[in-house]
Amino acid sequence: MTVKAGLKNMVLKGVNLSIGYKLHGGKVLHLQKELNMELRAGELVCLVGPNGSGKSTLIRTLAGLQKPLSGSVILDGYDISAMKVPEKSQLLGIILTERNTVDNITVFEIVSMGRYNYTNWLGTIREQDRKKISKAIYLVGLHGFENRFFGSLSDGEKQRTFIAKTLASEASILLLDEPIAQLDIPNRVEIMTFLKKLTHISDYSVLVSTHELDIALKIADKIWLIIPGDKMLIGTPDEVIKSGYLDELFGNELISFK
């Protein structure tokens, strides 16, 4: 790998990140300290770790939705805290666990929200927007669902609608917080496989937090394993399995990874 290529590939990077929350009375809750990680183009990374280890907080911090306690997040070469909301959202597609969406809004309307930063003040959908929206809907396999109401969709279809929305936004970095937690097993595999496909076909970088260890180990290019009270372990699934930490952290839940 050349230096130039490496620079180009490092699309999202955390430098000496400490994550957590400032509490009332000046106290600080540290979830993780001094994390260093980078997400490269064309890479599917799964963020795993025990419950409460700060997976969601890390995603929110990397997405610039929450300030790190210290350290910085570099997006496309710039410090994310200095970037404006529209700039960020053109690069980053973020799907959080929040499902507070109204029921009587159509799939098309939600996906068209992905064009938010490209449309005029009234949000008028032009022909080029319509093409991108249709393409995104087609990619996630919701073709024909355009006028269905969000409230009538299954959980898997809802998740795909939101993925389509981020695809329509032309963001090349996708951060997904627990996208498959609510789904049944066939849907889980299908969504993860689809995300993997995205990294292959068009150099998308995808970061997925999940507690589905088996799927993560099978599909991810790289695993970010949060070890409570310690640094983060970064490596390929094989490397992570060999490290032995999985048994230590998830031993009760899983038989063995060796």
Partner 1 sequence: MSKKYHTTLISLLIVAVICLFFLDIILGSVTIPMRHIINILFSRTDNKGWEYIIMQLRLPRALVALFAGAGLSVAGLMMQTLFRNPLAGPYVLGISSGAGLGVAIYTMLSGIIGTGAGFIISKLNYLGQVTSAIFGAVVILIIVISIVPKVKDSVSLLIVGIMFGSLATAVISVLQFFSTPQLVQKFALWTMGSLGDVNWDQHMILSIIVITGFAVAIFLIKPMNALLLGESNAVTTGIEIKKTRYLIIISSSLIAGGLTAFTGPVAFIGIAIPHIVRMLFNSSNHKITIPMSAICGAALLLICDIISQVPGRSIVLPINVLTALFGAPVVIWIIIGKKNLRTSF
- Cα-based distances in Å from 251 to 17, 228, 237: 28, 15, 17
In this structure, the strands spanning 92-95 and 173-177 are parallel
Q: Is 30 in the site for partner 1 (CB under 8 A)?
A: no
In the complex with partner 1, which residue's Cβ is closer, 23 or 85? 85
Size of the site for partner 1 (CB under 8 A): 34
In the complex with partner 1, which residue's Cβ is closer, 94 or 246? 94
Q: Footprint of partner 1 on residues 81-140 (CB under 8 A)?
A: 85-86, 88-90, 92-96, 98-105, 109-110, 113-114, 116-117, 119, 121-123
In the complex with partner 1, which residue's Cβ is closer, 84 or 258? 84
In the complex with partner 1, which residue's Cβ is closer, 140 or 225? 140
In the DSSP assignment, the letter for residue 231 is P
Provide long-range contacts, Cβ within 8 A and 24+ apart, for 60-64.
60/96, 60/177, 61/14, 61/17, 61/19, 62/12, 62/14, 62/175, 62/207, 63/88, 63/92, 63/94, 63/175, 64/88, 64/92
- What are residue 48's DSSP bridge partners? 225
Taking the complex as a whole, how short is the minimal distance between the CB of residue 47 and partner 1, in angstroms? 17
Per CB under 8 A, residues contacting partner 1 are 63, 65, 85-86, 88-90, 92-96, 98-105, 109-110, 113-114, 116-117, 119, 121-123, 151, 162, 165, 169
